[in-house]
Amino acid sequence: MIEGRDIICFSNDWDSDPLSKKHIMLRLARKNRVLWINSISNRQPTLSGRDLRRAWKKMRDYFKGTKSDARNIIVYSPLVIPFHHNPLARWFNRNCLRYSLKRLCRRLGFVDPITWTFEPSSAEVAGRLGEKLLVYHCVDEFSEFDGVNRSALLAMERRLLQKADLVLVSSTRLYETKRQYNPNVFLVTHGVDIEHFRQACTSSVPIPPEVSALPHPVIGFFGLIAPWVDLELIRYLAASRPAWSFVLLGKLAASVDTLKGLPNIHLLGRKEYAQLPAYCKAFDAAILTFVVNHLTLAANPLKLREYLAAGLPVVSTALPEAEMFAGPVRIGKDPAEFLHHLDALISEGKTGPQLEISRAMEIESWDHKVEMLSRLVEQASRAEHAKHGSRKQPQGGIPEIASGDSLYVQ
């Protein structure tokens, strides 16, 4: 792993649920210092109560200044104007953010930092902070999210891609779409916290009372219930098998009216990350019911690996990254096929957390993935920003440090 470095990380808000960015930076912070920049927003705000509350929180966090995490992480909430299509807003963001971050880095004693950004909207300031290396880590097709100014976001991302020293992507589709703008694009898929989710396979973790008495089989889903979750498919499954229990854990970010009137659907709300293994222990199978569109075709859903680390068999819609997991993941290309796979799992008795499935995921651990990422960063650092030097795109397909492979990517 890289060590002794100062890292400026543009990401989502630190206090939100742990996504891939947080897992990566927590591990890097064991041997490096990380300045975590809370979200500078890709989405344009509205006058909704949700967005107004979020804006108010952003203002309060800004005036509180930085807060330090015991794990070598300093969290900062900057002041930005999230109207990226507006030249005046971009000018303000570029200058205000650059000034405040450079001043903060001086105060913290950051030397020759690495800027490691997960945010296309950081394009106005990334590369202007005196960094020795600029890394763009792309984990979604951000222009496909609801509420964004697509053309403005694509333009910002293109600028970021063109000036980055290293581009990391988490899915095959993202590799294909980003490599045309930068020759130094590498695919490293997401990892998973194996030990955390493997608790579902142990006898010491009790099943939460709100699911312990539900009729089996229990079919489970956890994660943000957003527009990309196929609620019509879930309704079809629940209506087709009224004796089964369908448990959905997660914050509601989309209307669930289509699920009304089905007593075997249990919407239990958001659960803390620490609680998820206990809920997984109650599941007979997990479902990944994403709508198949431009956004999800480029996604590498973190929950898929978390389900598998918990030892659960999974049925998923036809997402490219899910199709790569043969065996424990079955693909339903339409509602009838999806239901057929669930029926087969139940009838075969291959249900509930299974240690064999969890063990097969050890090669996908976050520790392993962060070592891969570190080797790529070390390689880029040695090139000393030689954008016009001898670094060449590897031939013969996608340049990935494959799972289980110790190959050093040239």
Q: Which two tokens stand for residue 227?
A: 């527009």
pLDDT band of 54, cuts 50, 70, 90: low
Give yes or no for residue 191 having a pLDDT over 70: yes
**How far, in Å, CA of 383 to CA of 372, rounded?**
17
Q: What is the pLDDT of residues 91-140, one digit of tens each?
A: 777 888 899 999 999 999 999 999 999 999 999 899 999 999 999 999 99
Report whether pLDDT(3) > 60: yes
Q: Which two tokens stand for residue 224?
A: 């943000």
73 Cα distance to chain centroid:
19
The reported pLDDT for the residue numbered 404 is 36
In the predicted structure, residue 397 carries a pLDDT above the cut 60:
no
Helices 335-348 & 231-240 angle (0-180, nearest 10)? 50
Q: Which of 335, 383, 129 is nearest to 235 (CA)?
A: 335
Per-residue model confidence as pLDDT tens digits over 326-337: 889 999 999 999
CATH class of 194-362: alpha beta
- Would you list the domain boundaries of the chain? 6-191+377-382, 194-362
Rg of the chain over Cα atoms, rounded to whole angstroms, equals 22
pLDDT in tens, 269-295: 999 999 999 999 999 999 999 999 999
Both tokens of 395, joined, read 């031939």
Long-range CB contacts (< 8 A, 24+ apart) of 153-162?
153/42, 153/84, 153/120, 153/121, 156/84, 156/120, 156/121, 156/123, 156/124, 157/120, 157/123, 159/123, 160/117, 160/120, 160/122, 160/123, 160/126, 160/136, 161/136
6-191+377-382: CATH architecture: 3-Layer(aba) Sandwich (3.40)
Q: Is the pLDDT at 250 greater than 70, yes or no?
A: yes
- Listed in sequence order, the DSSP H helices in 140-208 are 150-163, 172-178, 194-197
Please say whether the beta carbons of 22 and 32 come within 8 A. Answer: no
Cβ-contact 308, 329 below 8 angstroms = yes
Cβ neighbours around 340 below 10 Å, total = 14
Provide the percentage of residues in the chain whose pLDDT is more than 90. 75
pLDDT of 388: 42
Q: What pLDDT does residue 78 have?
A: 87
Q: How much is the pLDDT for 67?
A: 74
> Residue 405 above 60 pLDDT?
no
Average pLDDT over the chain, rounded to whole? 89
Q: For residue 263, what are the contacts with CB-CB under 8 A and spacing of at least 6?
A: none
Cα torsion for 24, 26, 30, 34, to the nearest 10°?
Answer: 90
Instruction: Give the pLDDT mean for 341-360.
Output: 96
> Matching CATH topology for 6-191+377-382 and 194-362?
yes
In this structure, the strands spanning 73-76 and 114-117 are unpaired
Nearest to 371 by CA among 339, 406, 395: 406
**Region 370-392: what's the mean pLDDT?**
76
CB atoms within 10 A of CB 258: 12
pLDDT, position 345: 96
Question: According to the model, what pLDDT value does residue 399 have?
Answer: 53
- Asked if the model's pLDDT at residue 11 lies above 70, the reply is yes
Report the pLDDT value the prediction gives residue 91, as an integer from 0 to 100.
78
Distance CA 265, CA 147 (A): 29
**Phi and psi angles of residue 172, each rounded to the nearest 5 degrees, phi first:** -60, -45
